[in-house]
Amino acid sequence: MQTNPSHSGPTYSSLVTVGDSFTEGMSDLLPDGSYRGWADLLAGRMAARTPGFRYANLAVRGKLIGQIVAEQVGVAAAMRADVITLVGGLNDTLRPKCDMGRVRGLLEEAVERLAPSCKQLVLMRSPGRQGPVLERFRPRMEELFDCIDELAARHGALVVDLYGAPSLADPRMWDVDRLHLTAEGHRRVAEAVWQALGQEAEDPEWRTPMPVTPPPGWTARQVAHARFARQYLLPWIGRRLTGRSSGDGLPAKRPELLPYEGPLA
């Protein structure tokens, strides 16, 4: 890490991101069918400031914290990047049965392995969509976030508080699956991490909610609920009952630490 006199804020030569679908970029869909997401957007900004900037994204959708630790943390640590981001554990909290003691222990293991391997470790308090799902799992989520705050203080990591951002609680920032951010949501997350890394704000108002619009009518809401149940909720329940994951068999998004020139084709 070094300071570039032509810019305010430090410059970084490499970024490695670790996590699940949030970091993979769902549901920020590109025309070719791939996902972009906040991590790609952040990498693009960092690459524009540093020739030869390298980026790896090890995230895979559906991964639990145990899988992230087993499959991604060691790989990320070995890359010795300037910046590593770690977001994990939220999928665990959404399971009907969740051992929060085990989640905390695995998260601590991940941080203890990653913090010494990079110049700056970044953790996040994940965003939460307004609605009954958030209310049901809020106690677990907040327990997870308390653990993140404690680990960050102990290991010198940055914490990006997305959970406390009113803009990201707005249902309009979330895709129709109600689990993943829209392109605009991912853009705001990238801005949040960018600022946390000491960079000059490009959007100082990223926390500000979108302007109020009239809510959809009763019929539109019922159609949306039915579509959500058919396309997303029932398949999700089916995977839980059979022990499957949406990420089974999928490789890491960008498994090697290579120069970044834009989204992969």
Alpha helix ranges (H) inside the chain: 21-24, 38-49, 65-68, 74-79, 90-93, 100-114, 132-155, 166-169, 183-196, 218-228, 234-242
Q: How far apart are the C-alpha atoms of 95 and 101, rounded to whole Å?
A: 14
- Residues in contact with 261: Cβ distance below 8 Å, sequence separation at least 6, in sequence order: 47
- Residues in contact with 7: Cβ distance below 8 Å, sequence separation at least 6, in sequence order: 49, 199, 200
What's the pLDDT tens digit per position in 138-155? 999 999 999 999 999 999
Ramachandran bin of 131, using left for φ above 0, alpha for ψ from -120 to 50, beta for the remaining angles: left
Confidence (pLDDT) at 5: 47
Q: Which residue has the tokens 């490789």?
A: 251
Q: What is the mean pLDDT of residues 17-32?
A: 95
With a threshold of 0.95, does the pTM exceed it? no
Q: Which domains does the chain have, with CATH numbers?
A: 14-216+252-259 (3.40.50.1110)
- Which pLDDT band, with edges at 50, 70 and 90, does 265 fall under? very low
Q: What is the mean pLDDT of residues 67-92?
A: 97
